[in-house]
Structure 1
Amino acid sequence: MGGVDETVLTEDGVRLWAIRSGEGVPVVFCHGGPGLWDFLGDLAELLADRAAVHRWDQRGCGRSQRCGPYSVARSVADLEAVRRHFGLDRMALLGHSYGSHLALQYALDHPERVSSLVYLSGTGIDSRDTWRSTYQQNLRANLGTHLERWEALDGRERTEAEGREWCVLQCSADYADRERALELSEAAATPWFGVNLDCNATVNTDVKRTLGRPELRAACEKLDLPVLIVHGAEDIRPDWALDSLEQALPRVSRTLLDGAGHLPWVERPEAFRSVVGDFLAGHAAGA
């Protein structure tokens, strides 16, 4: 796929990796984690003839400079630096997993810069306590014969190789196709850039402080932007957790993709391309 690696310089001097590819509606992706890197290249390729996709690694992650500080507000400012770097007046946002929370927060802070929002495989705006136990049960069930090894790695410090093994095992639970889950998880972890555990812990703590607060719901109720919620029917994060967000947003549609887990574009590519591509085209800046 086309595109040339670029360096975005934030106002506090941190260098972020970024890349642009495709043609069409300008959209910026926000990858999940926190602490991971952008592994959404296949998603960008799926939309290559419908969207000009701008991808980036969040600070401290992947190919970006590994330094803090880490917070949601800091990531929102970094996303603004990405927008300015590419000269985008308005843009669509697509956030996956934790990235959906980041994209939503950016839209709340800068609604004039956002034409539409795809909230992909997120978990809504209620407290994590409402769905976390269900997620943990589903995770363990999907790990199946790999559960014992995952638990052994999860409970101690890990070497770099063990860290990759732990991540591959955990992420294998995110696929509906249990026969190919480990293979698909290995592919997503290749190339391997490592997990920034400091970023993960710090940003997750920051997110937990805001979820479930009435101020967040009130802000969502005022968000006058088209939002598409997309979720895999077999995601181990329960679909009902999204009710809180859907009920708060004034302009929202919601799609549940059967036969898909946490990465629905991998397991249902054509259905995903149709739903998301049509949404982005229908709500392009100025359309």
Structure 2
Amino acid sequence: MATTQDLETRFTASGVRLRARTRRPGDVDWLFLPGGPGIGSESLHELVDALDVPGTCWLVDLPGDGSNTDAPGAPADPFSAWPHAVVEAARAVRRPVFLGHSTGGMYLLATPELEELLEGLVLISTAPTADWMPAFIAMTETNPLPAVTAATERYEADPSDANLREIAVESATWNFTPEGVEAGAELLGRMPYNGAAVAWSDAHFDHTYEAAWFPEELPTLIVSGGADRIVTQRLWDEPQYDGDHVLRRRIDGGAHFPWIERPDAMKKAFADFAVHLSTWTSG
């Protein structure tokens, strides 16, 4: 039986924080990197707790992200370690399977050094290039949320983390289905936020991102909500993202955080991938 508390905390040389949340029999280390950026790995609690995978599930926060703002060993400019510090996280455990949600997945795909270190890769609600952004902008223009506009104006006038939280909370209708919006707004309202991380990614990563690698043989799971309106999943339909080593799972009824609306379907997708991972490794 798994426990659901932080069982162990580790820091890498650059201040990446790894917190073990669940442990089950098995030696696989599942590393969970949140989206955002600027939102902590606490956003993945419900996902980790819904799963039944062998081994240890670690919540990962880069230095300067979320609540990881005073990490031992972090450089004076913690963002100087972004995003390549994910390599340190992979090297901090024995059998790493790295999961990235949204922008977290993009950070992983921007770091080709990971390919030789990982046992597997999981990409949730993410994209291979920044070409997802025009579709997102079009969606927001077609489905305007005046409360988001007002919250954004307040944040621009006073860029506090509290005001950043208000933008996130007011955007819940975009991030979740009507079925999940109440639970989603509650999730977004209790997250730690970090405006400095948002600013760094906007200036140095988000608009120019293009995957520097995609697994040629590494077991890979691409999973997304069928109702995701934040990051279009059509970009994965190109043949270079297909192969016997790749599983794709569409979670019908799920949105950008598909485990909120459909935790059982996410549990099944990860169970399928755990079997795929075991079979691929033993084969």
Q: Distance in 1 between matches of 2:147 and 2:198?
A: 23
Instruction: Indicate yes or no: 2:96 matched with 1:91.
Output: yes
Counterparts in 2 of 1:9 and 1:228: CA distance versus 1, 3 Å: closer
The alpha-carbon distance between structure 1 residues 47 and 180, as it changes in their structure 2 partners (threshold 3 A), is closer
Q: 1:3 aligns with which of 5, 9, 25?
A: 5
After superposition, what is the alpha-carbon deviation per residue over 1:82-113, rounded to whole angstroms, capped at 9, x for unaligned? Answer: 3444x41x22111100111123344x313232
Q: Distance in 2 between matches of 1:139 and 1:51?
A: 40
Moved over 6 A (4+): none
Whether contact under 8 Å (1:5, 1:18) holds in the other structure is yes
Partner of 1:29: 32
Q: Distance in 2 between matches of 1:53 and 1:173?
A: 28
Kept in 1: contact 2:221–2:246 (CA 8 A) = yes
In structure 2, the partner of 1:81 is: 88
Deviation of 1:7 after TM superposition, in Å, equals: 4.1
Partner of 1:270: 264
Paired letter, 2:272: D
Rounded to whole Å, the distance in 2 between the matches of 1:160 and 1:260 is 28
Unmatched segments (≥5 aa) in structure 1: none
Distance 1:146 1:22, change over 3 A: same
Cα separation, partners in 2 of 1:140 and 1:146, compared to 1, 3 Å = farther
Residue 144 (structure 1) shift: 4.3
Matched, 1:138 2:139: yes
Unaligned residue ranges in structure 2 (runs of 5+): 71-75
Q: Contact conserved, 2:151 with 2:163, CA < 8 A, in 1?
A: no
Instruction: Verify: 1:102 aligned to 2:95, yes or no.
Output: no
Letter in 1 for 2:158: E
Letter in 1 for 2:30: V
With over 3 angstroms needed to count, the CA separation of the structure-2 counterparts of 1:102 and 1:15, relative to structure 1, is closer
For residue 258 of structure 1, report the CA deviation from its aligned partner. 1.6
Contact 1:93 1:118 in 2 (8 A): yes
AA matched with 1:54: W
Q: TM-score, normalised by structure 2?
A: 0.80
Within-5 A mapping of 1:106-255: 106=111, 108-125=112-129, 128=130, 130-142=131-143, 144=145, 146-147=147-148, 149-150=150-151, 152-153=153-154, 155-177=156-178, 180-181=180-181, 183-194=182-193, 196-208=194-206, 211-212=209-210, 216=212, 219-220=213-214, 223-236=216-229, 237-244=231-238, 247-248=240-241, 250=243, 251-255=245-249
Q: Are residues 48 and 248 of structure 1, via their aligned partners in 2, closer, same or farther at CA, if it must alter by over 3 Å?
A: closer
For 2:57 and 2:11, locate their aligned partners in 1 and report how far apart those are by CA, in whole Å: 19
The CA deviation string for residues 181-200 of structure 1, in whole angstroms up to 9 with x for no partner, is: 1x223321353422x22222
1:105 & 1:160 partners in 2: Cα distance?
A: 27
1:41-80 equivalences under 5 Å are: 41-48=45-52, 50-66=54-70, 68-70=77-79, 74-77=82-85, 79-80=86-87
- The Cα shift of 1:49 comes to 5.0
| 1:119 to partner: Cα distance | 0.8
% identical aligned pairs: 25
